Amino acid sequence: MEHLKNLDEIVGTVCREMQAHLGHGRVADYIPALAKIDPRHFGIAIAIQPEREAEEVAIFAAGDAEVPFSVQSISKVFTLTMALEKLGGALWKRVGKEPSGSPFNSIVQLENERGIPRNPLINAGALVVTDALLAGGDPAQLIAGILDFIRGLAHDPAVTIDPEVATSEGDTGFRNASLANFLRAFGNIENNIQDVLEVYFHQCALRMNCRQLARAGLYLAHGGVDPGSAARVTSVQRTRRINALMMTCGHYDASGDFAFRVGLSGKSGVGGGILAIAPRRASIAVWSPGLNAWGNSHVGVLALEKLSSLAGWSVF
Ligand code: GLU
């Protein structure tokens, strides 16, 4: 139990040390509903896999770990998991596995690469993933299915979708609409574009707190099995691959910097959240809404850098 006491101290230390940095960075204002969030929030939660089967998942949290926020692009990890379960390896015919080195909503690369997005964690790739999940179905049903999947992983029916954020994105999402149209021109979107965008905006508008998010990501630290229910979410091999993509592509064009500083796989969102995975140990969620120049949480990255050094967690 010594290491558990230690984690309690570590989240406390990280939270205390981050206070001096709060307020740096800019909240994402291109989605009006996100522009009004106070950048001075900070929350952290670590969900650890139990050492023995009968033990419960333990969660260590500090700061604003109970305050819900918009998970935005972190949702891409969960829809990718769903799409791989549905389509298997066929998905890789439609989307690549390479870091983009470009901003999350970049359009130029798509032209050169003839409508095959670099990876599933940038917007273009995530739109293709959503299209693959939709496959002629009803958008409302798919939105409900995504919500259900994440509630199940978080073991919490209180996870919701924020309709105001979804509408706000719909009203201003001209760039995502352009990406979807461009993909469609190359034949890499098969459903009605409005339907794909509706699902995409709703998945990005998922509202979770750090505790729920850390708990939901635990299967990625645990070989694809949710340790709470022992249910297999995805295979060991897919879990490794999702983690590899998070490591190489999870922080837009600052993915190398994140790997260098933190040494864990991770996915950020413009709501200021980051989900990070320490394989065979823990799933970690941090949240602080002020973003750095690459659209990643300024304090979130600092906090994970501190945490990985204090806990000695790195995949290298
Ligand atoms: N919904 C946001 C967008 O598509 C997600 C961006 C992000 O978190 O990277 O612009």
Give tens-digit pLDDT for 250-269. Answer: 998 899 999 999 999 999 99
* pLDDT band with cut points at 50, 70 and 90 for residue 2: very low
Which is the closest atom of ligand 1 to the Cα of 104?
Answer: 9
- Ligand 1: centre distance to CA 174 (Å): 12
Residue 273 · residue 287 · CB < 8 Å: yes
* pLDDT band with cut points at 50, 70 and 90 for residue 1: very low
- Name the 3-class secondary structure at 107: coil
105, 161, 201, 274: residue to mutate for ligand 1 pocket, most atoms within 8 A of CB: 105
Ligand 1 atom 2 nearest Cα: 72
27, 29, 31: residue to mutate for ligand 1 pocket, most atoms within 8 A of CB: 31
Domain termination residue (choose one: 187, 204, 221): 204
Catalytic residue among 71, 270, 286, 301: 270
Same domain, 14 and 93: no
Residue 132 · residue 139 · CB < 8 Å: no
Q: How far apart (Å, rounded) are the C-alpha atoms in residues 213 and 159?
A: 9
Q: How far apart (Å, rounded) are the C-alpha atoms in residues 138 and 132?
A: 13
Q: Which two tokens stand for residue 181?
A: 């149209």
- Ligand 1: centre distance to CA 102 (Å): 14
Which is the closest atom of ligand 1 to the Cα of 105?
Answer: 10
pLDDT at residue 207, rounded to an integer: 98
Catalytic residue among 11, 100, 199, 200: 200
Give the contacts of 138 (CB within 8 A, at least 6 positions apart).
none
Same domain, 200 and 82: yes
Q: How far apart (Å, rounded) are the C-alpha atoms in residues 186 and 9?
A: 52
- Ligand 1: centre distance to CA 263 (Å): 24
Same domain, 87 and 54: no
Arithmetic mean of pLDDT, 33-43: 94
| Dihedral in degrees, nearest 10, Cα atoms 199, 254, 260, 128 | 30
pLDDT at residue 56, rounded to an integer: 84
165 included as an active-site residue = no
Domain termination residue (choose one: 151, 175, 204): 204
Same domain, 6 and 78: no
Domain termination residue (choose one: 173, 204, 235): 204
Evaluate if residue 106 carries a pLDDT over 90: no
Arithmetic mean of pLDDT, 133-153: 97
Residue 266 phi/psi, 5-degree rounding, is: -160, 160
Give the contacts of 88 (CB within 8 A, at least 6 positions apart).
none
Q: Give percent of the chain with pLDDT exceeding 70.
A: 97
Q: How many CB atoms lie within 10 A of CB 71?
A: 33
Q: Which two tokens stand for residue 79?
A: 């829809």
- 19 within some domain: yes
204, 206, 246, 291: residue to mutate for ligand 1 pocket, most atoms within 8 A of CB: 204
- Ligand 1: centre distance to CA 12 (Å): 30
- Report if pTM > 0.75: yes
Q: What share of the chain is helix, strand, coil (3-state, %, to 5)?
A: 50, 15, 35
- 316 within some domain: no
User: What's the pLDDT tens digit per position in 273-293?
Assistant: 999 999 999 999 999 999 999
Residues in contact with ligand 1 (CB, 6 Å cut-off) = 72-73, 104-105, 123, 169, 176, 204, 269-270
Same domain, 244 and 229: yes
Containing structural domain, residue 151: 73-204
270 included as an active-site residue = yes
219 included as an active-site residue = no
Same domain, 25 and 125: no
Evaluate if residue 54 carries a pLDDT over 70: no
> Which residue is associated with the tokens 């891409």?
76
Question: Strand order of the sheet with strand 282-287?
Answer: 58-63, 43-48, 282-287, 273-278, 265-268
Q: How far apart (Å, rounded) are the C-alpha atoms in residues 201 and 7?
A: 35
